[in-house]
Structure formats: structure tokens, C-alpha cells
Structure 1
Amino acid sequence: MNFEKLQVWQRSIKLSAALYKHFQELRDFSFRDQVTRSGLSIPSNIAEGMTRRTDKDKVHFLVISRSSCAELRTQIYIGMEIDYIDAELGQQWLAETREISKMISGLITSINQTPPANCLSDS
């Protein structure tokens, strides 16, 4: 499967880019680095997972991607608390991370339900 055609990958790319743009002037380098790294991890692990050979490897990287999404969501909440992210933008990003996480979960379910390609049917 070509990961570049996956809507979840495309959406996570846009989110990651938005994070970089938003925080490019932030002088709190530690926070900026942590947020952008977790955001970058989401599409990167989708891409890495979907190019793996086995379903087990694919799912492993997708689980990491979903975990990075949860990490980012936590950082967004913190960013809102410390006024690095305004409430409206923060709520948009929180909603997007929830949607991306659901999409990753759906992809994991789809992979886990797909029979191996080398199985022979009884028919």
C-alpha cells in the first residue's frame, strides 16, 4: 500500500507542518522541540510502518504513531494551559489528533483482519 495515498498520512503531514509554522518563533526551545518532534513522529511512523513487509511490523509502527498522537494531544493541552496555544486553535488541534488517532486505529484493525496473502483457500 502506498502510504502517500493514505488520508491519515496526508492529514498528519498537514498537522505536523502547522505545528512547525506555529512554533517557529517560540523561544522555549524545549517545548517547541518536543511538540514538533511528536507531531513529526505521527506521519513518519505511518510511512515507515506501511513500507514494512509483515503485518506485525506494520501494526507495530502504527501503534507508535498512535502513541505519538496521544503524546502530542497532551502537549497541546499543556500549551493551552501555559498560553503558548490559544484555546480555539488548541481545540482544533485536539480534534484533529483525535480523528487521526481513530484513523490509525481503523488502519490497524484493517491490517489485522486481512488474511495473509500466501494463504490458500479451500475452494
Structure 2
Amino acid sequence: MNHNQHHIYDLCKKHMHAYVLAEMVDGTNVDGIITGLDDEYVYFAVPLESNEQQQMPTYQHHGSSDDYRQFGYGHGFGYGGYPGYGYGPGYGYGRPRFRRLVLPLAALTALSILPWY
């Protein structure tokens, strides 16, 4: 891992689960929430544009609740896939608001914290 890549790794680690703006080597920018990090990649939850949300199908549970839990796909599934308790009706259901994006650490040049509003 070179010096710049190590610096970006440290920034990503410091700002895990924060809403950030990542600048890429080619000059493009990506805003999203850092959800994971390893030696080679940084994982983001990137907000969908309103037209992308309209094209996405409504959430239906098929498989493990862990598959959907990370990015707003449905909190509230308890043991064995049965409905859980604690979030109230409608929380986490409907259309997804985020998509997953995996970027190589070597492609990032800068990271800035963004406000949530």
C-alpha cells in the first residue's frame, strides 16, 4: 500500500458510517455513506436519484433479512424471517433509497465530510 493509499484508507476508517464526498483520480465525485473498508476497496451506500427510485421495484422479502438490512431494504424481520418488533409499521419498507458501490482505494484522491441536510 503506497503512502497516498494508506492516507485514504485512514481517512475512510476515521469516517466510517459518515456521509462523505469522494473524489476519484479521473476527477469524478461520488457522495455516499461509507459502509465498509478493506485493504483494497471502500464500500459505499450511494443515494438513488429520484428517477432511479421510481424504476426500482417495491421491496419484497426473498431470502435472509441480512441481505436487505444494510441499505434500507427492510428492518423488522425477526427470527426465522417472521416480522420483528420495535420499528413501527412501514419502517424500512417500500422502495430502496440506496445502492451499493464498491470503489478501489487506489482510485480515491480525496475525501470530504458532507452534512446530512
**Is the pair's TM-score, using the shorter chain for normalization, greater than 0.5?**
no
Q: Which has the higher contact order (CA 8 A, sep 6+)?
A: 2
* Higher strand proportion (structure 1 or 2): 2
* TM-score when normalising by structure 1: 0.25
* Higher helix proportion (structure 1 or 2): 1
